[in-house]
Structure 1
Amino acid sequence: MPPPRDADSGSEDDLDLDELDPIVQSPNDPRLNSSVDSANRRTANGSTNIPLQRLQKYGSSRLWRSRGRPGRAGDADEDTEGLLGSWPGQARGNNQLPQWSESEDQPGWNVSRRKYQNLNRQNSISQGRDTHSRRLSLRQSMQISDFVRQELADMREHDQELNGHESREVEVGQSLKKRFPTNVVSNAKYTPWSFLPRTLYNEFSFFLNVYFLLVALSQILPFLRIGYMSTYIVPLAVVLTISIGKEAVDDIVRRQRDAEANSELFTVLSFSDTARDGVVEVQKKSRDIKVGHVLKLEKNQRVPADVVILQSRLTELTIDARGDGTDASSSQASGETFIRTDQLDGETDWKLRLPSPLSQSLTLKDLQRLKITAGAPDKNVNEFVGTLELQPRQASAYDPHVLKENLADDNGGSSDLDRSAADRVISAPLTIDNTAWANTVLASSTTSYGAVIYTGRQTRSALSTSPSRSKTGLLEYEINNLTKILCIMTLSLSVILVALEGFEPSNKKPWYVAITIYLILFSTIIPISLRVNLDMGKTVYAYFIHQDKGIPGTVVRTSTIPEDLGRIEYLLSDKTGTLTQNEMQLRKIHVGTVAYAGEAMDEVAAYVEQAFATGAGRHESKASELGSNTKTRREIGVRVRDLVLALALCHNVTPTTDEIGGEKVVSYQASSPDEIAIVEFTESVGLRVLQRDRENIVLQSVSTGQIVVRAEIKDIFPFTSDSKRMGIVVSIASEIPGLTNTDELWFFQKGADTVMTSIVAANDWLDEETANMAREGLRTLVVGRKRLSQQQYADFSSEYTDASLALHDRDTGMASVVKTYLEHDLELLGVTGVEDRLQKDVKPSLELLRNAGVKIWMLTGDKIETARCVAVSARLVARGQNIYTIAKLKAKQAAKDALDVMRNQTESALLIDGDSLHLMLSQFRTEFITIAVQLPAVIACRCSPTQKADVAQLIRQHTKKRVCCIGDGGNDVSMIQAADVGIGIVGKEGRQASLAADFSIEQFCYLTKLLVWHGRNSYKRSAKLAQFIIHRGLIISVCQTMYNIAGHFDPKGLFKDWLMVGYATVYTMLPVFSLVLDTDVDEHLANLYPELYKELKWGKSLSYKTFFTWVGVSVYQGVVIQGLSQLLVGEVDGPRMLSVSFTVLVLNELIMVAVAVTTWHPIMIVCIVGTACIYAASVPFLGDYFDLSYVASWSWAWRVVAVGSISLVPVWGGKVARRMWKPPNYRKVQGI
């Protein structure tokens, strides 16, 4: 290494890097002072000295050569190498120096030059400064180990980023070195390699399948072999094939949908200095989109990944169609765009999205200067916290022969002030309003550019898609218990038969081998086909529901629980949009001294027209109607004007224009029907919202058609379910008296009375009037305002901006600032009452369900008075029924006293508010629910979504009864998912509840048919189907037992091979399964007598009583069929006895099915008659088992008739006698 050179020696182009780089210099090194002096002398001489960091910034090739360029030895290069050391990933030879390409990534080495500089700085400071050569030697010797340590840290950082545990920084349009998940949509449950292992594992997680697998495998052992192995393998194979085949078809369909989504083409901006405008549009498939890419999105195009909207421009067609240059330019500048989120959160209303002003004003090329800081991936689709930074402009590449003045000219001749602004990082907050999540759709006629921040499994859509809770019907639990009894019966019967021989079998086999053989012979007692038949039956029930024209649009999303629809004992219902239409209309306003409703709204319109008239004589006619302008009437007019103006300004509604049939149609888009109802009201009384964007609201007089108010939006505080209020700060420009001072600003706010009471100034009428409106069934909103000075707003804005830039607890901080500066001492302007009418046929539906024994709970977020009014009008509470109210409980003792009163109010309905409910659930959880479930009706108001779900879960756990929850909004999803049966209504607020539910309906009145008709039929049919399948297995096992007893307990099979397989499939399967078409009463009688539904809750159709009844019937018929066949034929074994026994066994099952049918269906006739014909046609092919010459004789025929009659007649006679002595309820209503 050459010795240090004098600072003044050499040419101006030869840089002494030791002197220029502060890393090398020690603060106490005397050479530092000489270097500074040298630098000063050079500056004075006009030479251009560039610090090392400046050289790196300009990317000088004298420090790092481009990849692939041959190195050249030289002093300058040696100095560079000595100072910077060997850069990772670079091969070094005799003639090759370290290389770094500004435009190329370093594969395998994730370290930036800045990070590497910092590392060298730390190393050099920690080393001794004895000599210059020793410094260089130590630095070079330490670089490898420190670099490896740094690389390991980067790898850990990569893993954390990949797992989504940390926030991320996204450089827009840049190739990011950190690894993120690929943007692949994958809804498939299996891979080609995992399909069979996983499906087989799932199937053999059922005990019955494992049992029959062991039975089949036992036939491999010679001492356990009874017949052909296929006799036992085929039934199991059929069951597995049906189940696995269904899974395969479903997964193939999912894969096809995924492939379509992943192959969809999107436009991605590629930044290039050689391209015109600096960008090139490239088409990429959805799966190739990466974090940092900039997407170009058009109208009706799906968003493939989570993006931050950077810019949005109206299409030329839209701008031309508007014709209003002011509105178009305003929308163009603000960049407003709308998206549809129905596929994400189920809400059908368009949502307004806005780019940050920081990015909206940039050119497309300058978008690559942006850096986005976003939080860790999160499943909350309604929240986002991030920061957008505009990085300084990159200076031109350094050339030592170009002076500083020329460099400035290359940057556009910008002034020192402009350059200081360009070199400063500018930050802006990002919120949910600046985002568009994956699977949303661009709805407006705009071209939007968005930067991808989350891809693949880290998108909101993927994270919020959680597998639904696997639901098992109550009938399946009951059948599982019966199956356990059958297993015990099988084992007991096997042991008894061996015990009767004194545990010394006649075949000389060990007693345990004999027991095992008997277990194999009696394996038919346990019905392997039961689960498959029930699953197929559920598919049939779902088809019936879907095809029912009386409940159009009904969708079955969970096909495993249709029988539970017939066992519902508790119905938990939302109010708004479920019992009501969620079609809002503002019916009443109150301004403190007077209320207006109905025809009196004409007077409100007159006040508004008078207040916003812009020319002489425009309101003379209306003024004459108002009578003399007394002071009182003028004050009322001002109050009405102020309230209507506040309603027209304080909202999130945006007017949109669409072309329908060649005509322009204006509609309002908002996140809530209440908001639209309020804006429609202001238009009906004369004040129309003409245009609204992020910056301005323009109001128009309906009567004159002139713009009367222009308001500049300063801040908006949107409504949330937690805050229950919405506010806005505006600066108003208008000719309205009292509002003409443009130096003053106004804060308007509206919200629920529970939160606004403490925000508005003291008054003596608010509580009374909100209670009056609630008793009329109206939803109330309280409206207030506050005047702000410029200084007040400046103080607020400063702190609010700081809070909005925080990455942690941003919402809490922002809410705290708003509360401190704005939300106190508001002037109370008035109260509005919005009507939400009951849905069609709600009253008769609730009355029918109540008569059917269903206890109904209404859980709503509305106030007590509104909930009471709706409950009475909807007949949720019976006529004349007492309503016991529990409200505003704070103390534990008060709650205990209320419980004591409830114990004596078992015939009353309960009305309880959210705070009292919370106290009850937290202090007296068991006591409260024990009493509440006994009440005929419960109304819980001011309930949060969490409380709704908690109540549903508590009722399920406490009663062990079937609970059904029904709702229509996103706040009902948790309640629906917590229920045994969740039903969602496709409502005005979207499809979120519908998508999360087990069943989706369009109107509440459809619920009665779903429960009373389809639910009842599903349960009755499945119960009967299960009993016949159990009977079919038991009777053949009893025949086997009789055969073994007659054969001196020799454990050998009676019906072997095809006879065994054919009996369970071809000869009996279709007739038994056709019972899923049976109905005991028609639909009219089911609705007319809802008491028929009430009896199902005791489960009498499939109980231990009915089970053991069928066991008795099976034992009787099995003993008769096998015993009489052996007795009448005169032989214990042989083809003649076998032909009689098996024929009677098949015909007995067919006749038993026919006797059990209540209402004949053509398909049932075809199944029974067709199966009998199939058996008759197959007899000639059963020569290996039957004596065909004997079958063709009358001797065989009369024996078959005799045995069959003795088997069937007593059973049929007993059934007829039982119907006559104690007829079931369905026979009573039929009059039979």
Structure 2
Amino acid sequence: MQNSTPPPTKRSRVDKYLDKVIWLMFALLLAMATLTGVIIGIRTKQDGTDIWYMRPTESNPYYNPQKAAIVGIVGFFNGLVLYGYLIPIALYVSLEVVRVAQALFMINDIEMYDPASDKRARVKSPGLNEELGQVDTIFSDKTGTLTSNQMDFFRCTIQGVSYGKGTTEVERAAEKLGMPLGPSPRDPRPDSTRPTSRTQSVDNAIEVDTESLGPENNPYKEKGFNFYDERLLAGKWVQEKSAESIRFFFEILALCHTAIPEGTPEEPSLMRYRAESPDEAALVVAAKQFGFYFYKRTPTTLHVRESLRPGDPPRDQVYQLLDVLEFSSLRKRMSITVRFPDGRLLLLSKGADSVILQRVDRKRSGPVAETTRHLKLYGEVGLRTLVVAYKVLDEEEYKSWAKRYADARSIIGKERESRTEELAEEIEQGLTVVGGTGVEDKLQAGVPEAVDRLARAGINIWVLTGDKVETAINIGYACSLLRQGMDNLIVSLEGSEARAIEERADREGWSRDKIQEGQKNFVSRKLDDALQLVLNGHVNPRGTSTSERKISVSESLQSALSRSMSTKSSGANLSRNASKNAAGTLTRNLSVTNGRHSRNPSEGKIGVEMLPLVDGQKVGSNGEGLDQREWAISKESALTQSRKGPPAEPTEYALVIDGQSLAYILAETVLQERFLEVCINCNSVLCCRVSPRQKAQVTTLVRKGLGLHRLCLAIGDGANDVGMIQAANVGVGILGVEGAQAAMAGDFAIGQFRFLERLLLVHGRWCYRRISLMILYFFYKVCMMGWIAFYSNIFAYFSGNPLYNDWYASFYNTVFTSVPIVVIGILDQDVTPAEAFRYPQLYQSGQRGELFNFKLILWWLAISLYHSAVIFFFPLAIYSGLSAFRPGGQVAAAQDFGAAMFTVLVLVPNLQIYLAFHYFTWIHHLFIWLSILSWYLFIIVYGALPTSWSTIAYKEFIEVLAPSASYWLLQPLVVMAALLPDLVFRSIKSVYRPSDYQIVIEQSKSKRDSQHQV
């Protein structure tokens, strides 16, 4: 609840832009109506009695020179009514219909149905459909969003000894990419003991054949437990030297939690635990597997059944639960006070290493160094880590504390939370480390492919997670967020340089404010170095102008298409910079911001200028045998090399920053601006150790900083992601295992992260295209009617008398022309889903706003102006020159001209659809021709009604229009005169300046033709 915010009201950028266009059209309407009123007032005054035959009267002020002002005012309001078609009121209704239909297609898309959870996509805000086609930046949670949120206990470290064998998913992904993970180059162990693809125990150089042993073939495996080490399983831990410490470690896992058992105590295999988080449940399951079976909880007791050895009778132990200091995103730890059956009074704690290790008793710290080293290694292979610690409590001190804690909890108001937190902080000091845990959260299926394709679509991807920096980086590689050839810029207060500030502060007795000032200056310096690097000749394409980006994308797309034609394997060659010479990037200038993460063994040798950023010490001048993890080139060297000129192709950058650094950045405007400038030039951003509040703050900062021209999307699965989801332009919730809060807060909801690429690249792109073209077409057809009304009013002495029956105009926007464009708004496809996936670069047209902008609006308005002129003046010229219009020799009356002209006014916009769009099915053809046919049926049926209903349209078609040969000849002539220039222009443009989607369409057609010939 602390992280919750009121749900914001969101409107799409297209809607906001549409409002501006409506205001522009309204201003045009006022100008035209004002002109009409002024002209008719002036003419009435000037003509005077020359038009006496109009017989002006008191009841009819028109043409009365003595009431010219009144005539002008009446003419103004008549103009508002007559030209009111310029304001497309029906457009808003049509847009809502189209958006709801588009939402139904998303909801029922079988490709976005998750059979595992039996959930399909949800659309809560159809008004944001088109926003999905313009996303520039994605903010993603990690746990439960990129990962499956199925936590498995995988490794642990107890009293300085690491246990657990097998290969994590991150290790397998790294090996597949040729980036073996391992310890840092200055790890004290010899090379022979470093983990390889055949996993070894961290402290024991025991090579394990993972094909015969390990988690892949683990008989003890169950949900939440994927641990294998013969030293601990099957009760063999009792034979270890530190058996008592191991026992205590497992007891802490079985007790320090808030999980509730659900099942029968006599059936351990069927017991399930309802916990606040999946990783907490995994730790309780692990304790059960090691012989400490937690089966019952009461408000004051915890019941554990111990089975230390196979065959031994189990023993039920009852522990007295005294207090629970619950976990929160701010505390990053939880503790309980408990009395053991033997009478010992202990505080048991578990939490993030950055929090627990700060509260360790220096005299009785436990195996802190070994545990820290093991947890770092666990993090590097993608495991979520926790430190397990305890404290022996003095009876008298505890009683005093317990009384104060009970009093604090009884306080009503805001003070309660702060007071209980102070007391929790007080008792959670002087801890002793027992060990740590490593829990694996596997990536969801299809995540690496989805991330890669979204990045190739030009989308900047941010991951905001609570994980350690090492864990986040290596998971970033596993999910393709980070990749070879990319320079990683690390801004962290967890490195050796930042720790040097704290050590100096301890030596010199700095105040807290001075420490924070030193850390802030450190972060500021790191951002300066990063900014200098990304702007110093290595400009990222994302930072270029729209026209430059368009040219770049078009060239890459055509190149990809040509390669696809030559290899007949479309899409295979569109990988992001896959062919980049990684070794060549090693010589590029890197900043001192804990630079690049090399994952290629061939890149192990580095020059003398390289400075490792783990220990802050220079390496040997020869650089032999170094498998560097975190290194950079000095600032001076970077500046020197940059003067030699930019590289042949832009460098891809990734920024990795921790929550503590973000806290300083979010507190100062100057640092915020610097941070944004760095991020804009980075392809990926990893924010580690961040709280839910920081997630929302970062999202808000970037959304406001990037302005209206770049759109942000946030995706998450838990309550902690609600603030981030609400802060973004578009929020997407994952229907995961952490509840429905994120899905309820989001504008859209999907079952798996991999569905996001279809939601954006297919549905989002289609929706943006459909809505944009639908709006432009609507303005085109209603403006034609507005211009024609203005032309006719000129010839009607600005009297406001229409050329045609009012019902013609009433049905024009609702029946005669609206249905085809609504169908197109629902069904239009320029490329197929397969082509959208194969060429994700097509998505960037939405980011650049190519389909809905001021130039296109002016273009369509110009077309409407030309078409209206042809539709009005062409028939006028023909009918004015005819001596006879009807077979009986009668000339054309005003209503005859109006009906004939209105026929062409229905034909031209309907047939214009065939020029403006490219995708047609039988449904499109049916509704286009039904709309045209509806006009002829209407004029026949309406004309057959009595004159009291049909007025001037009485038998207009049967007796006047149908028998006239000129009426039928007029229609094709006017249609050709109106549409032919547009056809010629579009044909020339498609040949000499084709759009990206037109290139793809032609390539697909050529490929199909070649296959048919074969």
Q: TM-score, normalised by structure 2?
A: 0.69
- After superposition, the Cα gap between the structure-2 partners of 1:643 and 1:957, relative to the gap in structure 1 and judged at 3 Å, is same
Aligned equivalent of 2:346: 746
Asked if structure 2 preserves the Cα contact closer than 8 Å seen for 1:574 and 1:860, the reply is yes
Aligned equivalent of 1:912: 657
- The within-5 A match list for 1:975-1054 is 975-1054=724-803
Which runs of 5 or more structure 1 residues have no equivalent in the other structure? 1-379, 383-463, 606-620, 734-741
Aligned equivalent of 2:528: 900
- After superposition, the Cα gap between the structure-2 partners of 1:814 and 1:1008, relative to the gap in structure 1 and judged at 3 Å, is same
One of 988, 991, 1004 as aligned partner of 1:1220: 991
Deviates more, 1:1100-1109 or 1:480-489: 480-489
- The within-5 A match list for 1:507-906 is 508=63, 509=68, 510-552=71-113, 553-598=120-165, 635-657=241-263, 665-702=270-307, 703=310, 704-733=312-341, 742-762=342-362, 763-808=368-413, 809-820=415-426, 822-888=427-493, 890=516, 891=518, 892-906=520-534
**d(CA) in 2 for partners of 1:627, 1:769:** 22
Deviates more, 1:471-480 or 1:493-502: 493-502
Shift of 1:832: 0.8
- The within-5 A match list for 1:380-529 is 380=1, 468-496=7-35, 503-505=42-44, 508=63, 509=68, 510-529=71-90
Aligned equivalent of 2:875: 1125
**d(CA) in 2 for partners of 1:787, 1:1137:** 101
The AA in structure 1 aligned to 2:693 is: T
Measured against aligned partners, the alpha-carbon deviations of 1:746-798 in whole angstroms (never above 9, x if no partner) come to 22111111111122233433432322221121111111122334444333333
Q: Matched residue of 2:858: which SS?
A: helix
The answer to whether the aligner puts 1:945 opposite 2:716 as a matched pair is no
Shift of 1:1053: 1.8
Deviates more, 1:1040-1049 or 1:836-845: 1040-1049
**d(CA) in 1 for partners of 2:786, 2:422:** 76
One of 1051, 1064, 1069 as aligned partner of 2:818: 1069
Q: Matched residue of 1:861: which SS?
A: coil
The answer to whether the aligner puts 1:1156 opposite 2:916 as a matched pair is yes
Shift of 1:561: 0.7
Asked if structure 2 preserves the Cα contact closer than 8 Å seen for 1:654 and 1:693, the reply is no
- The within-5 A match list for 1:1159-1174 is 1159-1174=919-934
Aligned equivalent of 2:979: 1208
Shift of 1:467: 6.1
Q: Matched residue of 2:139: which SS?
A: strand
Aligned equivalent of 2:845: 1095
Q: Which structure has the bigger radius of gyration?
A: 1
**d(CA) in 2 for partners of 1:1045, 1:814:** 81
Asked if structure 2 preserves the Cα contact closer than 8 Å seen for 1:1135 and 1:1187, the reply is no
Q: Matched residue of 2:714: which SS?
A: strand
One of 900, 907, 913 as aligned partner of 1:1147: 907
- After superposition, the Cα gap between the structure-2 partners of 1:905 and 1:544, relative to the gap in structure 1 and judged at 3 Å, is farther
The answer to whether the aligner puts 1:1179 opposite 2:939 as a matched pair is yes
Shift of 1:690: 2.7
Aligned equivalent of 2:678: 931
Aligned equivalent of 1:1190: 960
Shift of 1:850: 0.7
Asked if structure 1 preserves the Cα contact closer than 8 Å seen for 2:711 and 2:729, the reply is yes
- When the two chains are superposed, the root-mean-square deviation of aligned CA atoms in Å is 3.0
The AA in structure 2 aligned to 1:714 is: L
- After superposition, the Cα gap between the structure-2 partners of 1:1176 and 1:672, relative to the gap in structure 1 and judged at 3 Å, is same
Shift of 1:628: 13
Q: Matched residue of 1:561: which SS?
A: helix
**d(CA) in 2 for partners of 1:1133, 1:993:** 66
**d(CA) in 2 for partners of 1:953, 1:754:** 27
**d(CA) in 1 for partners of 2:942, 2:296:** 85
- After superposition, the Cα gap between the structure-2 partners of 1:512 and 1:812, relative to the gap in structure 1 and judged at 3 Å, is closer
The AA in structure 2 aligned to 1:913 is: D
The AA in structure 1 aligned to 2:145 is: T
Asked if structure 1 preserves the Cα contact closer than 8 Å seen for 2:458 and 2:841, the reply is yes
Asked if structure 1 preserves the Cα contact closer than 8 Å seen for 2:867 and 2:978, the reply is yes
- After superposition, the Cα gap between the structure-2 partners of 1:1045 and 1:1216, relative to the gap in structure 1 and judged at 3 Å, is same
Measured against aligned partners, the alpha-carbon deviations of 1:1018-1044 in whole angstroms (never above 9, x if no partner) come to 111111111111111111122222223
Asked if structure 2 preserves the Cα contact closer than 8 Å seen for 1:859 and 1:943, the reply is yes
Asked if structure 1 preserves the Cα contact closer than 8 Å seen for 2:90 and 2:814, the reply is no
- After superposition, the Cα gap between the structure-2 partners of 1:810 and 1:491, relative to the gap in structure 1 and judged at 3 Å, is closer
**d(CA) in 1 for partners of 2:29, 2:407:** 76
Measured against aligned partners, the alpha-carbon deviations of 1:937-986 in whole angstroms (never above 9, x if no partner) come to 11111112121111111122121221100111111101111111000112
Structure with the largest fraction of helix: 2
Q: Matched residue of 2:428: which SS?
A: coil
The AA in structure 2 aligned to 1:765 is: E
Asked if structure 2 preserves the Cα contact closer than 8 Å seen for 1:591 and 1:639, the reply is yes
Shift of 1:992: 0.8
Aligned equivalent of 1:966: 715
Q: Matched residue of 2:143: which SS?
A: coil
Q: Matched residue of 2:358: which SS?
A: coil
- After superposition, the Cα gap between the structure-2 partners of 1:689 and 1:623, relative to the gap in structure 1 and judged at 3 Å, is closer
Asked if structure 2 preserves the Cα contact closer than 8 Å seen for 1:588 and 1:832, the reply is yes
Shift of 1:502: 8.6
Shift of 1:915: 1.4
Deviates more, 1:789-798 or 1:587-596: 789-798
Question: Which fold has the larger relative contact order, with Cα–Cα distance below 8 Å and residues 6 or more apart in sequence?
Answer: 2
**d(CA) in 2 for partners of 1:1187, 1:791:** 104
Which runs of 5 or more structure 2 residues have no equivalent in the other structure? 48-61, 114-119, 167-199, 207-212, 214-229, 363-367, 499-515, 535-651, 881-890, 944-951, 1006-1014
Measured against aligned partners, the alpha-carbon deviations of 1:694-724 in whole angstroms (never above 9, x if no partner) come to 2222222443351253322222222222222
Asked if structure 1 preserves the Cα contact closer than 8 Å seen for 2:469 and 2:688, the reply is yes
Q: Matched residue of 2:690: which SS?
A: coil
Aligned length: 743
Measured against aligned partners, the alpha-carbon deviations of 1:273-306 in whole angstroms (never above 9, x if no partner) come to xxxxxxxxxxxxxxxxxxxxxxxxxxxxxxxxxx
- After superposition, the Cα gap between the structure-2 partners of 1:866 and 1:1129, relative to the gap in structure 1 and judged at 3 Å, is same
Measured against aligned partners, the alpha-carbon deviations of 1:986-1036 in whole angstroms (never above 9, x if no partner) come to 222111111111111110001000011111111111111111111111111
Aligned equivalent of 1:17: none
Deviates more, 1:1095-1104 or 1:1042-1051: 1042-1051
The AA in structure 2 aligned to 1:823 is: E
The AA in structure 1 aligned to 2:381 is: E
The AA in structure 2 aligned to 1:545 is: M
**d(CA) in 2 for partners of 1:634, 1:1228:** 68
- After superposition, the Cα gap between the structure-2 partners of 1:692 and 1:566, relative to the gap in structure 1 and judged at 3 Å, is same
